[in-house]
Amino acid sequence: MRAAETCANYHVLMPATASAASSLDIRSLSRVMKALSDETRLRMVALLAHGELCVCHLEEALGLQQSTASRQLAVLRSAGVVETRRDGSWIYYRLAPQADALTRAVLRALTADFKKRQALGQDAERLQRTRGPGSCA
């Protein structure tokens, strides 16, 4: 068997061995991209690009019910997009550092592009209005 075979559908060389395919490990990126495939989760990531936030800030800025916010944040957390910190009864979310260089680059490019999006800018404005002393009380 040859080291690479031509795929008739795409006319590209495909690796013929499992070890070559495993070197193209994209599970981390795939997991993140699936988590970002929802508009609400994208909007959450855009706000978290500004820094750590309490879940109540995300609820207010995005007009979400607590259960919806928690469910969407759980998807992002499971995918490794966000991480949490507990302070008393409050849970704070922040973007998680990414070990995979490609995933890190995709998230960096995505968050840089958020500044150009009007709807995301409106979310950030609402966040600034709702955030402040005693806003989580």
The CATH class given to the 27-121 domain equals: mainly alpha
Residue 24 scores a pLDDT above 60:
no
Q: Are 93 and 84 in contact (CB under 8 A)?
A: yes
Domain-wise residue ranges, the chain: 27-121
Q: Are 5 and 16 in contact (CB under 8 A)?
A: yes
Task: Give dist(CA 97, CA 100) in Å, integer.
Answer: 9
Q: What is the pTM of this model?
A: 0.75
Task: Give dist(CA 133, CA 137) in Å, integer.
Answer: 9
Residues 47-71 pLDDT 10s: 998 899 999 999 999 999 999 999 9
**Structure confidence at residue 6 as a pLDDT band (50, 70, 90):** low
Task: Give dist(CA 43, CA 47) in Å, integer.
Answer: 6
**Structure confidence at residue 2 as a pLDDT band (50, 70, 90):** low
